[in-house]
Amino acid sequence: MSDSEVRGAGAEDRGLMVLAARRYYVDDVSKVRIAEELGVSRFKVARLLEHAKATGVVTITIHADGLQDPALGVALREHLGLTSVTVVETSGDPDAVRHQVGEAAAQVLGATLREGEVLGLAWGRTLTAMSAALPPLPRVDVVQLTGAIGTDLDESPVEIVRRVALRSGGTARPIFAPLVVDDARTADALRRQPDVAAALRMFDSVTTAVVSVGSWEPPDSQLLRTISDAERTSLLEAGVRAEVASLLVSDSGDLVAPHFQDRCVTIEFAQMRAIPRIVAAAGGAQKAQAVAAIVRAGLCTELVTDRALAEALLALPRVAPVEGGDAGASS
């Protein structure tokens, strides 16, 4: 039965094709038995099934959400020069992808954290999903790396730290302060508050940090929505490509507009880069340039991502993370 024969087949042949497909794919009946039932050869049954797929009578969907692709992870790890990359299959809208990447990050963290570590957490919707999916963790202390942004309590970094500390049984050091304020003087006063200062003192002891990645161009960042249009334009003109914990970096991995950090209650650029292990969780091809930028900046040693972003990163030039103190600051 050729393609033209199928297209021109009458109702009887099309009916045979549908019957054969239903018995084989739905009822799990063998081709030999189907041939006996329909009174045709098993070779014709095979052709009927083949053309059922070719003509759209049968469509097959593989639900692989959450499954890892180790080979793609190895290729991307070598491409980016990272210590580890986990790539998972995802599907659905951006919110669904964030949840699936967050769940994968939760599994990575659960399998690799060691008792006695100090875990630093930034903020973001992917980290919110991660915190909700965590398995029981070894006892670790948890510190918030930035002040809070927005008004959604479920996505607040304070709530993320609380959830993770509950899973580990360790102490939690939240920062009850906004991330961005109007001027450096106010930010400095907040940093001197006893509770905030206690959290900031822990930054140099962080052994593992987990961060999300904000893309400024193309725009996919919650921080972008919290600043004025004029400031956004100014920072983009200064070359901001990505942000991690409100640290703004260019395509080359340099810190951009350090004066902006003067208004933020957050970990400093040098402190973040000194953390031995920084796990970035991000999904979606639109974040490829942003992830490449934070890798060059030394703000990522491991990546948890989805296939779309992994393939987009592999399509970019090979990335070499900065060494030591090579990343600079630009105004």
Residue 5, pLDDT score: 45
Shared-domain flag, residues 15 and 119: no
CATH number for position 15 = 1.10.10
Q: Tell me: pLDDT of 116 over 50.
A: yes
Residue 25, pLDDT score: 84
Examine residue 265 and state whether it is found in any structural domain, yes or no. yes
At 54, the pLDDT band (50, 70, 90 cuts) reads confident
Shared-domain flag, residues 84 and 33: no
Number of domains within the chain: 2
H helices present in 180-284, as ranges: 184-191, 194-201, 229-237, 258-261, 269-274
The reported pTM is 0.79
Residue 60, pLDDT score: 75
Supply the range of the domain harboring residue 176. Answer: 70-330
How many Å apart are CA 250 and CA 259, to the nearest integer?
15
At 10, the pLDDT band (50, 70, 90 cuts) reads low
Contact in structure between 144 and 158 (CB atoms under 8 Å) = yes
Residue 63, pLDDT score: 59
Neighbours of 195 (CB within 10 A): 12
Residue 7, pLDDT score: 46
Shared-domain flag, residues 24 and 83: no
At 74, the pLDDT band (50, 70, 90 cuts) reads very high
Shared-domain flag, residues 146 and 240: yes
Examine residue 64 and state whether it is found in any structural domain, yes or no. no
More confident residue, 305 or 35: 305
Angle between helices 94-112 and 125-133 (to 10 degrees): 50
Q: Tell me: pLDDT of 61 over 80.
A: no
How many Å apart are CA 48 and CA 42, to the nearest integer?
10
Shared-domain flag, residues 212 and 266: yes
Shared-domain flag, residues 39 and 88: no
Shared-domain flag, residues 23 and 157: no
Shared-domain flag, residues 164 and 30: no
Average pLDDT over all residues of the chain: 90
Q: Tell me: pLDDT of 16 over 90.
A: no
Range with the largest mean pLDDT of 58-67, 205-214, 221-230: 205-214
Give burial (CB, 10 Å; 0-12/13-18/19+) of 63: exposed
H helices present in 217-263, as ranges: 229-237, 258-261
Examine residue 63 and state whether it is found in any structural domain, yes or no. no
Shared-domain flag, residues 277 and 158: yes
Shared-domain flag, residues 108 and 198: yes
For residue range 264-290, list pLDDT tens digits in order.
999 999 999 999 999 999 999 999 999
Please give the helix or strand (H or E) that residue 209 lies within, else none: strand 208-212
Examine residue 61 and state whether it is found in any structural domain, yes or no. no
Residue 277, pLDDT score: 98
Give burial (CB, 10 Å; 0-12/13-18/19+) of 128: buried
Shared-domain flag, residues 76 and 33: no
The β-bridge partners of 118 are 141
Examine residue 196 and state whether it is found in any structural domain, yes or no. yes
Examine residue 231 and state whether it is found in any structural domain, yes or no. yes
Shared-domain flag, residues 85 and 30: no
**What are the φ/ψ torsions at residue 209 (nearest 5 degrees)?**
-120, 145
CATH number for position 173 = 3.40.50.1360
Q: For the residues 121-150, what does the mean pLDDT come to? A: 94
At which of 54, 78, 96 does a domain end? 54
